[in-house]
Amino acid sequence: MEGAFDVIVVGLGAMGSATAYHLSKRRTKVLGLEAFIPGHDKGSSHGESRIIRQAYFEDPAYVPLVLRAYELWDELQNESNEENLTITGGLAIGSPQQGLITGCLKSARKYGLEHDLLDAREMRWRFPQFALADNEVAFYEKKAGYLRPEECIRQHLRCASKRGADLRFEEPVLSWTASQSGDGVNVTTEKQTYHARSLVISVGPWFAEFVPTVSMPVTVSRRVMFWLKPASQPSAFDRRIFPIFIWEPEQGPMFYGCPRTREDGDPKVGIHTGGEECTPSTIDRVINARDEMAIRSAIRSRIPALNGEVSRAATCMYTMTPDEHFIIDAHPEYPQVSLAAGFSGHGFKFSSVVGEILSDLAMMRETSSDIALFSGSRFRVQ
C-alpha cells in the first residue's frame, strides 16, 4: 500500500478536478485518480461550451452558489492566465406563465439580479435571430455566458498539480472500502491500493455502478449536441451579438444554444428535456435521424437562419435525480466519504464552487455554503 494521503478524489471530470484544485490550495496531501485522460469526451464534460447564468429558474437556492462560482472562475482564470468564461448575455424564452420565465423572475427578484423582460416585438429589433410567438417573452440577463469545459478542467488540474496534488490518469478505481470507525479509506486500482483519511467520489454518470449500495435514485440519459452551419448570416451567431439561450416552448422539449466559440466554429444547440435512459457502457454514440429531426423541429421556425447543415454532432450524458437537484452529501454510512452526483444536466457552471464545498466536506465534514437542497437523505423512505 502506498504512503497515506489526506484525501483521495475518484473521478477528475468537472467536479473532481475542481475538488483536487481546492484541496491543493489548502495544502492537503491529495491524490486524484481518473479512468481516462484529462478533459476526455466519454463522460459529461466535453463539447466546447457550457452555459452559465445567474437568475436560476430551477430554484433560487442556487443563486448564492452561482455567484460564488463566478468569483471562483475569475480567480482560476487569473491564476492560469487563460480565458475560461465568455460573457455573451443570456435569454430565457417562453410563455410568461411557464416555469422557465416564472422561475427566472423569482430568482432575479429575490436576489436583485439585473434583467430585462422583452416581448416578441422588442425581441425582433434587439435579437432578430429569434422568432418568438406573439404570446412568448424573453428574460434577458447581461451576465450570462458560456464556460469552456475542457479548458476549465485542464486549468483546475494544472493549478492543482502545480501546488503538489498527485494526479494519476488512465488509472480506473476498481473498488474502495471505508472503516466503520469513520476515519480512513482504502482505494484499489489495477496498479495498487492507496490509503487516505477521506474520500471524495465524483464519478459523474458512473455513480450508480460505482456506489451501488447507496440508495439514491440516479439515472443516466443520452444527450446529443449539434453544431449547425447557419443557413444564412453566419456572423449573426458570433459571440459578440448572439447570446446563450434556453427556450421552453409550449409544445415540445426545452432546448438551448450557444454562439460560435471560435471565428471558424459553428453555433451549438441541444435538447434539454427528455432523452433515452442509458449507462456509460450502453450509450449509443451514433447520431441517428431521430436526433436530427428533434433538433430541427425545435429550431426550424424559431431560429430559422440557424437551420443549416450539421457540421458536427456528439453524444454526452446527463446524470439525473428525480427532482433534478444535485446530490452533495456525506455517504449515509461513512462520514469520511463525500458524494457528488446527479448534476442533472445543469452542473458544470457550479463545478468551481462544488470543488470548494467538497474540499470543505473532505477536510472538516461541514461547509458554510447552503447545500440543504442537495441532501442525499431526501430520497430515503421514512
Residue number of the CB atom closest to ligand FAD: 13
Dist. CA 281–CA 339, nearest whole Å: 21
Strands (E), the chain: 2-10, 30-33, 50-52, 85-87, 90-94, 116-119, 137-141, 145-147, 166-168, 173-178, 185-189, 193-201, 219-228, 244-248, 255-258, 268-271, 277-278, 310-320, 327-330, 337-341
Stretch near ligand FAD under the rule CB under 6 A, chosen from 8-16, 76-84, 329-337, 355-363: 8-16
The reply on whether position 379 binds ligand FAD by CB under 6 A is no
Of 259, 270, 355, 376, which lies in the binding site for ligand FAD, with binding defined by CB under 6 A?
A: 270
Residue 69 to residue 61: CA distance in whole angstroms:
14
Using CB under 6 A as the binding rule, whether residue 167 contacts ligand FAD is answered as no
43 touches ligand FAD by CB under 6 A: yes
- Is residue 376 a contact point for ligand FAD (CB under 6 A)? no
Contact of 14 with 37, CB cutoff 8 Å: no
Binding marks (x or -) toward ligand FAD, 302..331, rule CB under 6 A? Answer: --------------xxx-------------
User: Which residue stretch of 1-9, 95-103, 116-124, 338-346 sits at the interface with ligand FAD (rule: CB under 6 A)?
Assistant: 338-346
List 21, 237, 348, 374, residue binding ligand FAD (CB under 6 A): 348
- Position of cell 441532501? 375
Closest CA to 348 of 373, 318, 375, 380: 318
- Selected binder of ligand FAD within 115, 143, 223, 268 (CB under 6 A): 223
**In contact, 136 and 94? CB cutoff 8 Å:** yes
Q: Which stretch binds ligand FAD (CB under 6 A): 35-43, 59-67, 86-94, 159-167?
A: 35-43
Of positions 343, 353, 357, 371, contacts ligand FAD by CB under 6 A = 343
Residue 139 contacts ligand FAD per CB under 6 A? no
The one-letter code for the residue type at 282 is T
Binds ligand FAD (CB under 6 A): choice among 19, 28, 45, 198: 45
CB contact at 8 A, 200 and 185: no
Q: In angstroms, what is the minimal distance from the CB of 160 to ligand FAD?
A: 14
Question: Should residue 202 be labelled a site residue for ligand FAD when binding is judged by CB under 6 A?
Answer: yes
Residue 99 or 172 with smaller CB distance to ligand FAD? 172
Per-residue contact flags (x/-) with ligand FAD for residues 224 to 263, judged by CB under 6 A = -x--------------------------------------
Tell me: does residue 346 bind ligand FAD (CB under 6 A).
yes
Q: Does 137 bind ligand FAD (CB under 6 A)?
A: no
Q: Residue 354: in which H helix or E strand, if any?
A: helix 351-364
**Residue closer to ligand FAD, measured from CB, 21 or 318:** 318
Residue 14 within binding range of ligand FAD, rule CB under 6 A: yes
Q: How far apart (Å, rounded) are the C-alpha atoms in residues 230 and 354?
A: 36
Shortest separation between residue 176's beta carbon and ligand FAD, angstroms: 9
Question: Do the strands 173-178 and 185-189 form a parallel or antiparallel pair, or are they unpaired?
Answer: antiparallel
Residue closer to ligand FAD (CB basis): 96 or 99: 99
Instruction: Tell me the C-alpha distance between 272 and 344, whole Å.
Output: 10
Of the ranges 31-39, 84-92, 119-127, 371-379, which one interacts with ligand FAD (CB under 6 A)? 31-39
Beta-carbon contacts of residue 5 (< 8 Å; ≥ 6 apart): 29, 30, 31, 166, 194, 195, 196, 197
Of 152, 262, 202, nearest to 35 by C-alpha is: 202
The string of DSSP codes covering 149-218 is: HHHHHHHHHHHHHHTT-EEE-S--EEEEEE-TTSS-EEEEESS-EEEEEEEEE--GGGHHHHSTTS----
- Binding flag, residue 101, ligand FAD (CB under 6 A): no
Positions in the binding site for ligand FAD (CB under 6 A): 10-16, 33-36, 43-45, 47, 50-51, 172-173, 202-204, 206, 210, 223, 225, 270, 316-318, 343, 345-349
